[in-house]
Amino acid sequence: MRKLLQLRMLRPIFAILVLLGTEVSQANTYVKFYSSYEQKSISGVVYDADSGETLPGVTVNIKGSNTGTVTDLDGSFEIKAESGSILVFSFVGYVSQEVIIKDQTSLSINMETDIASLEEVAIIGYGKVKRSNLTGSVSTVSSETLEKTNKIDAVSSIQGQVAGVTVQRTDNKPGSGGFNIRVRGANTINSGSGNGGYSPGQNPLFVVDGIFVDDISFLNPADIERMDVLKDAASAAIYGSRGTNGVVIIQTKKGKEGKMSIRYNNYVGFKEIYNLPPVFDGQSYIPFLRDVVVGNQFASNKDGNFSQYSAAAVNIEDYLSEEELQNIANGVSTDWVDLITRNGFQQNHTLDLSGGNENTVYAAGLGYTEDEGTTYGEDFKRYTLKGNIQSDLTDWLTFGYDNYITLATTNEGSLEAFRSAYRLKPIGRAYDENGDLLFLPTQKETQVSNPIFDTKNWKLENKYINFIGNISLSIKPLKGLSITTKFAPNVKYTRLGEYRGLYTKSAIGNQSSTRAQVDNFLDYSYTWDNIIDYNKDIDSDNSIAATFIYSRFLQENESYNIQIRNFSSDNFLFYNLGAGSNINSYGSGFSKQTLESYTARVNYNLMDRYILTLTGRYDGASVLSEDNKWAFFPSASLAYRVIRENFMNSQKVFSDLKLRLSYGQTGNNGIGGGLNPLGTLSLLNSSYTNLGDASVPTLFVSGLANQDLSWERTSEVNVGVDFGFLNNRLTGSVDIYNRNIRDIIFFRPLPTATGFSGTFDNIGESRNRGIEIGLNAKIIDNDNFKWNTNINFASNRNEIVNLYNNSNEIIFGAQGGTFIHRVGEPTGSLYGYKYDGIWQLDQAEEAATYGQKPGQVRVVDINGDGQITEQGDRTVLGNPLPKWTGGFTSTMNYKDFDFSFFVYTSQGVTISSNFHNARAFSYDGEPARLWNGYDTNYWTPDNPTNNWFQPGNGGPYQQAIKNMDVSFVKVGFMTLGYSLPTSTTEKLGIKRLRLYTTVQNPFTFTDYDGWDPENAGRNTYGAAFMSRTYMAGLNFSF
Amino acid sequence: MKKSIYTSSLTLLLIGTLLTGCEDFLEETNRQAISIPSSRENAESFNQLLNYIYEISRDNTTRYAPDMLYVLEDLGTDIVTRSSPLTGTDAINDYVDMNASNYVMQVYWANQYQIIAAANTLLENADLIDGVEEGLKSRGVGEAKFFRAWSYFKLVENYGGVPIVTDPITTAKSDFTRAEEQEVYDLIVSDLNDAINTVDENPEVYGTVSKDAARHLLSKVLLTRGYKSFAAPDDYERAISLAETVIANHPLEPTFAAVVDIENQRNDEVIFSYLFGSESSSVGWGNTKHLLYKFEYFNYSGLERGTLYQNGIGRMPTPYFFNMFDPEDTRNEETLRYVIYADVAEDGLEVGDTAIYFPKTAWSQARIDSKPYTVINPHEYLVNDGVTNVHFPMFKKFDDPGAPFVYANERALGDRDMIMMRGAEAYLIAAEAAFQKNDLDAAATYLNTVRSRAGLTTPLTATDIDITLILEERARELIGEVNRWMDLKRTGTLVSRVLEYNPHAALNNAITEKNLLRPVPQAEIDASGKTISQNPGY
């Protein structure tokens, strides 16, 4: 199979080579070629074996030579070849054929469709179709791409690769599944969401080998055969109520017919931190402190005479302890970040074998991944074990069994070390004069401890075992009819163990604050699908395919936790809870949700030119209230393969042209919006209080339930065109869509006069309109040098079109600020005062009318009433979702070398920057306490800039300057590889050996000067550094 | 062969279709909570809903949010200020840029409405729960109204007229509007009258609301209303009469020391306390008072973080407060700790030695230098020496030895009773009401009772009485126990006294008449769709 693949990959190269050697006008005919051997002219026609139609663009090569041609629009070809040579016919999406030339002069070739072909099949949910017959908008990421991107985790692999899929990494700790993934923009943004307005609850549905999962971090990317993203609602409609946020279907590698093949892939490398934001060192901290003191004087000024203050006049001894002054005299300048970071080691090994005969195919594999964090104490280890077998027990009965088991351990290390390293003054010391570690960097600093202790004494270990599997039985009672039942459980057991030792930031040497916490989670779900497939060719022009599915999904989650404090020894970690004296908290939980659905899909194909797909899903969800459980989600899509029309034969511009039109509906039952099971019921929870020195039970209403809550519905029209130019040297597709979401489920904040913070409600309607473009160009394609480039671009415009309850806006708070749903503006826009510069000294009088001082942040007085008020002067400032995204992959092959790189970008994102919130400036109102801060060109009386406010004197609106554009361009990877030439590998008896070296995330280009622009809204508690990875590896198979 | 194909197919189809008959597949399973209808079948639910009002009221009093304790009660007053050097600005204490987005405004507002919602839930369900004994029902209804009134009293004094909610909210209602202050007072007075009528005179269970607790609160409410334009003519009169009843039932302990003695916390003088106990399940957040009015003592030689002096959580009495005591006033030494003893051997100090001493009158440098321990003179409490922000005689009034050392954002776990009302305040309420009625002799008599218990031997006479004296007496007797901000607001002295006595607020000179009302939380206005209006000036 591997050999076949390689051949197929070489095929277009020959075709292009041929083309380049000819004048354009001759491109579609044939190529003259010269040989010293006796040659004869052979002509023929190539047909599609299924439809009987002629096939243009088929590559015809003489095996073992560089000679070849391609068929013209009538499927005809002519070539000169010597007797005994072998002609190879190949075309994407078809099984290659070889014909030995004896005495034929005319050939008639029937090409069989290669349904297993990776690129040319699209997975559409409960089935697959030839890409040429695809009616919806589905993007595929192949195993080749996954191999090239070479990421630790599966989600990172698709980042930037698919137009219209925005992947935002929210967590840089190794092993974390922290991603926000948005397909075609956000449907809703919820008030409970973290990380700057994003919430992972709206990630697309992941379907791994037919099993619904929430998170795919358990997968070793090397085990993934392909990932298909169903983007338009018509495609996702087959997943009904789970499909609103898009669907990512993942297939792991299965057995393939043929001799046993063994593959081994690996890489080893290390990663280093980069793109660190500027903070002060020991020397620059002192002038900063002086400026802060002056800032405080400005802030407290009453008489308007600001010239009386100067940094030079500040006596720093008023603010620094003797120890600190001594440290300054000794030139202490501690780089805390440097002290807790290292180069993290990374490795991955994947071994698998597969094979089979015509009745039975099998595959098995083992993977190991290790990823050390760049901060001490962080690491991730993952073992994966997979096996699958599929066997035709009889000619009408097929049995299949798959499993995929993951064992993973993540050490998150300290949640505080990162933050402490940025907080601590650079004039504190990590070590005393004897070289022993100091727990508190100065005697005066009693709150933030030396982060080196945290990396050693704070253990946070997440361990899980994840099993997904499925067992299926398929019967073919009649030709064209198959009935399959498939049961697929998904079981995950997670243990979170944490111990915060005596010498950590959390306990500060205080024994009663040492703590051990253990959380256990048992998550169990199954999907049970019963599928009836029927295919019928009515006549040569008409064929029909129908699928009916009855499906059930059940998920149960249990949790158990306990926290104990006051341990006399750090030795036990969380393994001996009895050693602690104080039970701080304990609890357990259970939740369950079910889905039941009836689905039908009919696909009608007329002459391979017109293809119609109709889908309907009738879906029930337990999570919704009694009267609103069921809903129906229809879709229809149509493809028109213009290239198959006779009139296209006379043109030479297009080598492929297809138009697609689809309409579909999907739903959101609220799980994606944060609604929990039982969320529509008004419930009483219980607790205890003390009366009369006794514990007495209490009952309270746990939340405001909305029994009217109903499905959120998305309906979408998608218009797409797939095209190929210059004999498919340039191919691509363009999709435009209009997606309307009504009855948006949102946790609507209510006045707390209700006694509650809010409730889930269907709040209104929004619209996403966008365009997605994908292009693939074979820029250079000759024998020695090939250059292939892939570009994707997507832009989405989101807008609230209507809010119910007679209001035109809903303002809500989330981590990262205040947001607004306002009619006419994007969903969940950042809302607040607009930055307008810094009040300058010569504006002191005007500033005073606003109650402000020079040096402070000035915001726009939007209603011009001479004062700044929440009612009159807040405005929409931007959106945390990008205006447009793009990706660019370029691959060059020169002889046996390959070089590729990948660049992606996210533009037009506005977020309240957490770096600037945290570091500009902490305790600048208490100069004696002043923490390290943002080293920037800030305002001082002598430096009248508008770049940043005066430290110690930000004024009431300093938040306004901290909302910033965090657009970026990142280089995802650069890879240089070398493959042993076929001649050598054949001698060695192996199929393939490739050595490569890669730099992951080598560069980031951005104007943003905080930490990682990708997660600029993330809280610093538990944060980790952005890093680049240098790695080398090999791909080996025999 | 054919037959088996069909049989198998049929079997699969049957599995696929027949099982769809399980109608209950989509039903929700509830193992974590009780539905309201099912709770009504159990008479015990009444007690449990009632107990929750105690729980939420206690926990929302002992803290506002995990790291926020009592800040609207005494920060930014004449007797308590922030514990930092005399620089910079602050919204709560200094009234600089106090605005509607300030988190504490939202938290305090929401906390009161959580208590109100809990009370409303009980009131709604009182008649719907099966089998509740009538006596229990009417008593419980009275207790619920007591807490509802208390919360509205805090709301109306802090924010002015607020939305009146007297039924449980069960829909996504947002269009609340603010009632007039007077209407809120009407509700408070009516609820408290109901409470006085129905709760027990002497409750069986310690810690539950008694008639005297309701009387005490009502007397304070009426005293407050007495100052208002919509006062009833007999408000002061009724306040005095209620206070008299309370005083009769809750006589003063013989000494102030006995009042603050942790071994004597259930004395006759106590009218109402929140209880915590040490059981993890029912202690809640725990009493937090022992954490407050402290500085970072553990930065000094011989001292470490421990369970005796507790955390150095900020806020300090103002210099004005420290100077408020007559030499013979025992409340000075019982409230404040002038000597701190070493709890670790360090720098030549042994455990038990004096570690820090605060002389009441300044010592000479020579005398200070002769001591092995730290000496901090009275004028140095607020001076920044580059080591610590402030240092001053810490509170010992609320000490809770043995309670774990915790940070402000952690469960405090203090299990000392939190005394919310005691007889001495009834005297002071009566004194103030009498003063307002111009019955100066009566006012002097009430005050003298309290003062003589504190060890003051010279009685006041009618000519001595003014509002300043009453406020100072309240400060000396009740600092940290009652809401000082509401005392100043009630007496119309907030702005002048803060500017005069709060050094940080005076530095920034920002407080104005508008600060007599707090800003209504912006999130509340936003969530209402702007049907809730803002107070003037914000």
State residue A193's pLDDT score.
43
**CA dist B376 to B324, B395, B397, Å?**
19, 16, 21
Least confident of A231-240, A270-279, A961-970: A231-240
DSSP notation for B409-433: TS---B-S-EEEEEHHHHHHHHHHH
- Note the helical H segments in A405-534: 417-423, 451-457
- Give the pLDDT confidence score for residue B15 in this predicted structure: 59
Residue A688 touches chain B, beta carbons under 8 Å: yes
- Determine the Cα angle at B9 with ends B8 and B12, to 5°: 85
Shortest alpha-carbon distance between residue B435 and chain A (Å) = 37
Q: Mapped to the 3 state alphabet, what secondary structure does B486-526 carry?
A: HHHHHCCCHHHHHHHHCHHHHHHCCCCHHHHCCCCCHHHHH
**Spatial CA neighbour of A165 closest among A194, A139, A187, A200:** A139
**Residue-level pLDDT at A814:** 74
Q: Which residue of A has its CA nearest to B52?
A: A698
Confidence class for position A190, pLDDT limits 50, 70, 90: low
Instruction: Give how far B405 is from chain A: nearest CA, Å.
Output: 7
B487-527 confidence digits (pLDDT tens) = 999 999 999 999 999 999 998 899 999 999 999 999 999 89
- Residues A378 and B340: their CA atoms lie apart, in Å, by 43
Report which listed range, A15-24, A106-115, A1016-1025, B329-338, is most confident.
B329-338
Give me the mean pLDDT over the A701-723 stretch: 88
Residue A408's Cβ-side half-sphere holds a number of Cα atoms within 13 Å equal to 31
Q: Do B26 and A589 touch (CB under 8 A)?
A: no
Query: Is A871–B524 a contact, with Cβ atoms under 8 angstroms apart?
Result: no
Closest Cβ–Cβ partner in A296, A682, A757 for B36: A682
B172/A706 CB distance under 8 A: yes
Give how far B163 is from chain A: nearest CA, Å. Answer: 7
pLDDT tens digits, one per residue of A865-900? 998 988 889 999 998 888 999 999 999 999 899 999
pLDDT tens-digit readout, A46-98:
888 766 778 887 888 887 777 788 888 788 888 888 888 888 888 766 777 88
First to last CA, chain A: 11
Instruction: Please indicate whether, in this complex, the C-beta atoms of A870 and B113 are within 8 angstroms of each other.
Output: no
Measured in angstroms, the CA of B86 and the nearest CA of chain A are apart by 9
Residue A36's pLDDT is 43
Question: CB burial class (10 A; 0-12, 13-18, 19+) of residue A480?
Answer: middle
Residues of A in contact with B404 (CB under 8 A): 512-513, 565-566, 582
**Residue A21 to residue A25: CA distance in whole angstroms:** 12
Question: What pLDDT does B11 receive?
Answer: 63
Contact B527 A688 (CB under 8 A): no
The strand pair at A205-208 and A247-252 is best described as parallel
Give the A window 551-580 contacts with B, CB below 8 Å. Answer: 552, 554, 565-566
- Using CB atoms and an 8 Å cut-off, which of residues 374-413 of chain A contact chain B? 396-397
The answer to whether A690 contacts B113, with C-beta atoms less than 8 Å apart, is no
Q: Which of A111-120, A764-773, B116-125 has the lowest mean pLDDT?
A: A111-120
Q: Is the pLDDT of residue B231 over 90?
A: yes
pLDDT at A30: 40
Q: Which of B387, B256, B378 is closest to B318 using CA atoms?
A: B378
- Three-state SS across B92-126? CCCCCCCCCCCHHHHHHHHHHHHHHHHHHHHHHHC
Query: How high is the pLDDT of residue A81?
Result: 83
User: Percentage of chain A with pLDDT > 90?
Assistant: 55
CA distance B336 to A621: 62
pLDDT tens digits, A449-498: 999 999 999 999 999 999 999 999 999 988 889 999 999 999 999 999 99
Kindly report, residue by residue over B316-365, the tens digit of the pLDDT.
999 999 999 999 999 999 999 999 999 889 888 999 999 999 999 999 99
Q: Which of B205, B281, B526 sits opposite A692 (nearest CB)?
A: B205
Distance from CA of A506 to the nearest CA of B (A): 10
Q: Mean pLDDT across chain A, nearest whole number?
A: 87
pLDDT at B386: 60
- pLDDT tens-digit map of A93-134: 677 788 888 877 788 888 876 654 444 778 888 888 888 888
Look up the ipTM and state it: 0.92
pLDDT digits (tens, 9 = 90+) for B479-488: 999 999 999 9
pLDDT confidence of residue A444:
82
Residue matched to tokens 């908008």: A137
Q: Judge contact between A39 and A83, C-beta under 8 A.
A: no
The amino acid at residue A641 is R
Q: Is the pLDDT of residue A199 over 60?
A: no
Higher local confidence (pLDDT), B8 or A610: A610
Check CB contact under 8 Å for B33 and A684. yes
- pLDDT given for residue A901 in this prediction: 94
- Chain A residue nearest residue B47, CA to CA: A698
Angle at B93 between CA B89 and CA B94, to 5 degrees: 45
C-alpha B183/C-alpha B191 separation (Å) is: 12
Which residue shows structure tokens 């769709």? B529
Residues of A in contact with B524 (CB under 8 A): 751-753
- Hey, which bits of A412-514 come out as E strands? 458-478, 481-500
Rounded average pLDDT over A994-1009: 94
The pLDDT of residue B6: 65
pLDDT at B92 over 80: yes
Q: Which of B16, B205, B522 faces A530 most closely, judged by CB atoms?
A: B16
